[in-house]
Each structure stands twice: as structure tokens, then as C-alpha cells.
Amino acid sequence: MSLNLPFVKETRFGNWFLKTNMWKIRVLDRALNDLQRLMPARRAQYSHILDVGCGFGHSFFALAKRFNPQQITGLDADPDLQARASDSARNCPAQVRLFAGNASLMQGIPDNEFDMVFCHQTFHHIVDQEEAMAEFFRVLKPGGVLLFAESTKRYIHSLQIRLLFRHPMHVQKTAEEYIAIIRNAGFSLPDAQISLPFLWWSRPDAGLWEWIGFPLPKKREETLVNAVAIKPMQ
């Protein structure tokens, strides 16, 4: 267990991109739509949600609209979290508290605190991934749900991502490896609650071959993984 707790600061382009409608609609909303489809039994309310790697807080309103929480805790390792996400927090219909910290060691957050953990396009920024997943398991209530949406090694190692964004490249994993991390942490994750979308923006050709009429490859290394995992009742 290393727990180096490093923070890899995003590029200027990356911070700009996270504010665009492309990110909010094509990436965030599309992932949430897919995750909701995978949920085996959806409650009317998830009272307390942890948003891991909340960034600028664009997911706060989307989570409030879809899951009716009383409170959202936005966790992010960026030391400028308050400046980045305070406007989104104020404008959210649910109460939002911002918590600056590393997902691999959530000091100050008690066991069994949350009904839902939302981790969207964040896990590939974390170096101590197994430790972070263990923390997700710890802070979720029994029966709580993990909504997990990630880009895989195939996508993060692509040329365009290397040029435009910044990530800890040595920890990137395949879809199968991310699924194994979730299951090894103790979560229930049947195959029916896993999705492997092959969206145009995640492909090396940015969807060009499909646009000009070529079929999608049946054998491929996946670029994205979405999963809905449940913490078993104790």
C-alpha cells in the first residue's frame, strides 16, 4: 500500500474542456444515462451522495435532478476546489458541501456515510487505485451503490489525450482490470450491470471510419467502462 497521495494538476486545455457543453452533454450526461439504465433497482431518493473528483461541480445539478439527494459531498484533490466549484454548489437544489482531499485516504469521512458514490472520469487520475476503491466501499452504507464511469488505458494512452491532458500514465488500466478492482474490494458487480460503450470521442479516429460507412470492429480493446456496483448488506 503506497498511499503517495500525489496530485496531477490538469492542463489548461483540460480545465477549459471540463467547462464545455461537449463535456456536460456528450460525456457526463451520457454516462449518467447509461449508469441509470444499469441500476438493478432505483430508489426514489439517495439521501447522501459522494461525488468523487467533482472538479467544477457540473455533476451536482445532474445528480440532484436524477437522484433527489438531501446532500451532496463534492470531493476533489485540487487545492482550488472552493474557487472552482462554489458557484455550482450554490446553484444546486440539494445542499452541497465541498471536501478537499484525496480519494485514496478520506480522512474525516466516517464509515457507512453515503447512499451513493459517483466516480465519473476520475479514477484514472488516482495513483493509489485499490486504496481508493477500498475507501469507496468503506464510506458507502450497506446496500449503497457505486456509479463508476471510466476511460481505459487504451484511450488515455492515445496520442490526442497524451497531447491535451495530463494523467498518471503508469497506473492506467483496461476495462477488465477496473472491473477486477471493484470486485476485489468486495462489491457485488454482475455482468448485467456493466457497460462497455465505444463512443466516437473515445476512438483514435474520433468516429471518422464509422461516419464514412465502416462498421465498428467486433474485436477491440475497450476504451470506456461503466459499472453499477452494490455494497452487500451486512
What does the pLDDT profile of the chain (234 residues) look like in tens digits? 344 455 566 777 667 777 787 778 888 999 999 999 999 988 999 999 999 999 999 999 999 999 999 999 999 998 889 999 999 999 999 999 999 999 999 988 999 999 999 999 999 889 999 999 999 999 999 999 999 999 999 888 777 777 766 778 899 999 999 999 999 999 999 999 999 986 555 566 655 555 666 676 677 778 899 999 999 997
What does the alpha-carbon distance between residue 85 and residue 54 come to, in Å, rounded to a whole number? 8
Domains of the chain in start order, with CATH, are: 12-230 (3.40.50.150)
DSSP tag of 146: E
CA 104 to chain centre: 14
- Say whether 9 sits in a helix, a strand or coil: coil
As a whole number of angstroms, the distance between CA 133 and CA 5 comes to: 14
Q: How far apart are CA 174 and CA 155, in angstroms?
A: 9
What pTM value is reported for the model? 0.89
